[in-house]
Each structure stands twice: as structure tokens, then as C-alpha cells.
Amino acid sequence: MEKLDFLDYFQELEDPRIDRNKLYALEEILLLTLCGVICGCEGWEDIEDFGESKLLFLRNYLPYKCGIPSDDTLRRFFRAIDPEAFQKCFSKWVASLNIPMENSLIAIDGKTSRRSFDTDKNPLHMVSAFAAEARIVLGQEKVDEKSNEITAIPKLLDLLDIKGATVSIDAMGTQKKIAEKIKDKQGEYLLALKGNQSNLHNDIKLFFDDKELTSQLDACEKTDGGHGRIEVRRCTVTDKIEWLNNRHDWCALKSIVKIESIVESKGKKTEETRYYITSLAAEAEKILDSVRNHWAIENSLHWVLDVSFNDDQSRIRKGNAPQNIAIIRHLSLNMLRSVKRKRQSIKGLRKKAGWDNDVLKEILALKFI
């Protein structure tokens, strides 16, 4: 049998089953589920059917002496697995990929799996960390039902090595303690401003509205186009903020940022202005690129999960299963990206992996970056 190195990082995961019920090894259930999700399975019945059709392939890696576990076995197993321990295993595996974090952007944002609600439980809402340049999920943290992203983000940061990286977060995460956490872990921050920091937001807006004050500031403008859409983005930035630091006590705050965007599409023009605070130096082009790269988490993670993995329609909802299957989807997406060719879609690659064992074998081999 061939060895799959990534399974080593999940050996520390505690098996919640009692010994007499362990007909299938933990590694066999994980590998079956991962391969099923990679190849397009959306529920436990799908995964069982997939396993029955791919049993000979799976036996290249693990014995499966008792055959393929039933959908009920899979359902019970993932409801019982400790998701926090599963996340830690996932994070150790990602760390083993040695993705360079120095001078990279890590975007943090939340997503709700809309149909994962149950009678007495809200839909699963996960905050994810995404390496924007590498297009890799670095980690995830569930938002507790009676809480919000503000409490989940610090827990997620604890799982990550962000030394030398810039962490970008939308306005929900613009909190002093989060900025301090990022700096304590030797990272830089780029935080959006909205009404939740109204005094800070208003002070920065008033500064940038003064044309005389801002006329000599570092600025950069870029234009993108395609599919009948043209977007012009302009970044203005300054580090002359002693006046602001005297009014607002933010850890290692170096620069304030104004981003103006104008989008023309189908004869319509929309304009938007956003403001940011950052521990980065006042370099307009670098900050403009970072702000744009932040949205990779929407386009290359959340959108892909919905369109290619049908995440919003998933009805896996009992116990710990929604959180655990979300981690499996992130694991699958990372592996798919390791072999994805230019102009090839994730959805198409999933189909190809289901049809062609050699493609699935290449994905599992994970020769990354």
C-alpha cells in the first residue's frame, strides 16, 4: 500500500467511538470522506456510494478489511469528533506545507452555511484565514451561537503563524485587542473602518476631506477591466498621524488610508469610498494591492465553496458534523488547488478526479507550490 503523508497529521485526533464499534479505522473514514468530497460528494449517502465504487482505489492506501462504512457510521462519526482537535490537526498539516508568509497577505472573513440550521440551532458561521497569494485556507474557527466574529478571530489567530505577514480584516474585526494580538504574533494589520468605530472613522474621513491637507500625500491609482466592467481604484495614504494617535490609542498604528473606487458596468457607474487603519508604512501602491487582495477570500474561497461545493445548500446539521465537514471541504479545496491548472475550474477538476483515478491520485500526493 502507498503512504499518504498528510494522514500523519491526523493521527493525534482522538477517536470518540468505543472499541467494539471500531470496524473501520479513523484513517479509513477520513480518507474515504476526503476523497468523496474532492470528487463531488455532498452528503453521507453520496460518500458511501462513492466508496463502494472506489473500494479498489482506496485499498491502494489503507486496507478497508470490512469494506466501506455506511452513511449512518459516517454521520455518527463526524457528529462526535471534536472539531477543535480536528482544526488543530488541519493547522499542523497546513504548517507542514511551508507556505511563505513573509510579506504575504492573510485575509480573515466569515461565512455562513445557510442551510446548516436545525430546529434549535442557527446555521454554522465560520471565520476563515486565507493566504491570498497562495490561495490556501490556513485555518478556521466557528463563531459561537451567542457570540460574533470578534470573539472567534483571536482564537483563529492563535492557530496561525503570521510572523512577517499582513492580516486584513473587515470592519467587524477592527478592535484594539485584535490589533494587539496581531502585533504580539509579529504580524502587521490592515483593518477596515465603518460605524462600529464611528469616532475614529469620522476623524479620518474629515482629515481626507480636507483637499489642502491631502494634496501632497502619497497616492496610487490602478485600473482593471474585463467582461464589460471597468474599475478604477485610488489609494491615498499618510503616516502624519500624531494628531490621531493623541485622540485614539491603537497599538502600533502607523498609517491611515482612503480607498476610492469607481466601477462602470452596463452603462452604470457606482462610486464607493472606504477608510482603513494599518500598522504598515505609508506606501500607497502596496496598500492598494493588499486591499484588493483581501477580496480573494470572497472570490477564491467563499464563492468557490458555494458554487463548486454547494456549501450553502448542505443539510449536514447535527452535532459537530457541520463544523467538521467544513474543515474537510477546506482540506479538499487546498488539495485541489495544489494541482489545478491555469484556466481550469475547481468544479471541473472535482468531476475529473471522480472520473479518473490518476487525477485523484495526483491530488492526494499533494506536491504543493
DSSP per-residue letters across 93-123: HHHHT----TT-EEEEEEEEETT--BTTBPP
For 261-296, write each residue's pLDDT tens digit. 999 988 899 999 999 999 999 999 999 999 999 999
- State the DSSP H helix or E strand holding residue 337, giving kind and residue range, or none if neither: helix 321-339
Length of the chain counted residue by residue: 369
In degrees and rounded to multiples of 5, residue 214 shows phi and psi of: -100, -5
- State the DSSP H helix or E strand holding residue 202, giving kind and residue range, or none if neither: helix 198-209
- State the DSSP H helix or E strand holding residue 191, giving kind and residue range, or none if neither: strand 188-193
Question: Domain spans of the chain?
Answer: 5-81+318-365, 90-302
For 194-211, write each residue's pLDDT tens digit. 877 889 999 999 999 998
In the predicted structure, residue 100 carries a pLDDT above the cut 70: yes
pLDDT cut 90: percent of the chain above it: 79
For 135-174, write each residue's pLDDT tens digit. 999 999 999 876 789 999 999 999 999 999 999 999 999 9
Computed over every residue of the chain, the mean pLDDT equals 93
Q: State the pLDDT confidence band at 224, using cuts at 50, 70 and 90.
A: confident
In the predicted structure, residue 111 carries a pLDDT above the cut 90: yes
Note the pTM of the prediction, 2 decimals: 0.92
- The counts of H helices and E strands in the chain are 16, 9
For 19-41, write each residue's pLDDT tens digit. 877 899 999 999 999 999 999 99
In the predicted structure, residue 316 carries a pLDDT above the cut 80: yes
pLDDT of residue 369: 44
| Angle in degrees, 0-180, between the axes of helices 26-38 and 321-339, rounded to the nearest 10 | 60
In the predicted structure, residue 231 carries a pLDDT above the cut 60: yes
Distance, CA of 201 to CA of 171 (rounded, Å): 10
Distance, CA of 100 to CA of 147 (rounded, Å): 33
